[in-house]
Amino acid sequence: MNGALLSRSTLFQLEALGEEHAYEAMRRALADRERGLGFMDLQADEDALRHIASMAGGDIRRALNALELAAVTTPSEMDGSVRLTLEVAQESIRKPSIRADLSTQYDVLSAFHKSVRGSSDAALFWFLYAVEKLGMDPMTFIRRLIVACSEDIGLANPQAMIQAVTAMDAYHKIGWPEAKYNISQAILFAVESPKSNATAIAIGNAEAAIERAGGAEVPLHLRDTHYKGAQQLGHEGYQYPHNFPNHYVKQQYLPNTLGSMTFYKATEQGMEDKIKQNQQKRK
């Protein structure tokens, strides 16, 4: 929704229901004779209600359904009363309800990517939680990991992306759940690698220069010369770097309008430190 519409709207923030809300709903259902279970002679143990509330995960409907199931399937006592114990509650609701809407999945994926930048434990947790509890596709996390290996690690450790792509290949070949070992290994390797966002910054710098430059003419000495008559058109002057010491020669590679701009600045992180030293030597 755009800003103009938002400024004319009243916004309400809805909070998720929790365990206490489910517990209170069941208490009301036990007391309500018309719309609830109050017409029955029910005696619900505290730990039984707490268990159902905890397993329902804030889902009121699921909690009430479990309570009703426990009530109608439990044999009555000699006096006609029904007692709901913890054991009965455990039979009526076995697995916690996990909210896995699209928004939640985006949040978990975001948490995973952010954790790759700083916590092996958290990155591994969010990955396994999403796949095994929320039912998300492992490929979603492998793709994000491959991106992170360039966006957040880059040339500080180029092996990180190799690990990630290899994990993707392993997943396609052997499938889940066996591939969880390969993917987890790639995740841990990435998190424990030295970090650098120099690649992402270089991309931003280059794209900004492209916008400013408009049309970009290729300098004459960089143009294709495989055809006859290239020299007559002035397409000469390129210096072959391998003919010079250290296989490098200073010459212009960017369009004339950009001159000698610098987009990529290596950091001192991991292997990128050697690149930085090499850049300084060339200057």
What is the 3-state secondary structure of 97-153? CCCCCHHHHHHHHHHHHHHHCCCHHHHHHHHHHHHHCCCCCHHHHHHHHHHHHHHHH
Please state the rounded mean pLDDT for residues 45-68.
90
Please state the rounded mean pLDDT for residues 100-128.
92
Burial class (CB in 10 A: 0-12, 13-18, 19+), 116: buried
> CB of 122 within 8 A of CB of 190?
no
Domains of the chain, residue spans: 19-92, 102-191, 218-282
Please state the rounded mean pLDDT for residues 167-186.
95
What distance in Å separates the CA atoms of residue 36 and residue 27, rounded to the nearest whole number?
A: 10
Q: Does the pLDDT of residue 100 top 70, yes or no?
A: no
Predicted confidence at residue 188, as pLDDT, reads 97
> Which bin fits 137, alpha (ψ -120 to 50), beta or left (φ > 0)?
beta
Helical (H) or strand (E) element with 29: helix 19-31
> CB of 30 within 8 A of CB of 68?
no
Predicted confidence at residue 98, as pLDDT, reads 61
Burial 5-23 (b: 16+ CB within 10 A, else e): eeeeeeeeeeeebebebbb
Tally of CB atoms within 10 A around 71: 18
Predicted confidence at residue 134, as pLDDT, reads 86
> CB of 225 within 8 A of CB of 231?
yes
Q: Does the pLDDT of residue 146 top 80, yes or no?
A: yes
Predicted confidence at residue 218, as pLDDT, reads 86
Q: Please, what is the angle between helix 120-132 and helix 102-116, to 10°?
A: 150
Tell me, which fold does domain 102-191 have in CATH?
A: Zinc Finger, Delta Prime; domain 3 (1.20.272)
Query: Model confidence over 223-268: pLDDT tens digits?
Result: 888 777 777 777 788 889 999 998 988 888 888 888 788 899 999 9
Q: Please, what is the angle between helix 138-148 and helix 102-116, to 10°?
A: 40
**Of 163, 201, 169, nearest to 184 (Cα)?**
163
Query: Model confidence over 151-164: pLDDT tens digits?
Result: 999 999 999 999 99
Query: Model confidence over 64-95: pLDDT tens digits?
Result: 999 999 998 888 888 888 899 999 998 888 76
Q: Does the pLDDT of residue 23 top 60, yes or no?
A: yes
- The two three-digit tokens of residue 148, written as one number: 């992170």
Predicted confidence at residue 2, as pLDDT, reads 78
Predicted confidence at residue 213, as pLDDT, reads 81
What distance in Å separates the CA atoms of residue 73 and residue 82, rounded to the nearest whole number?
A: 10
What distance in Å separates the CA atoms of residue 118 and residue 191, rounded to the nearest whole number?
A: 6
Q: So what CATH class is 218-282?
A: mainly alpha
* Architecture per CATH, 19-92: Orthogonal Bundle (1.10)
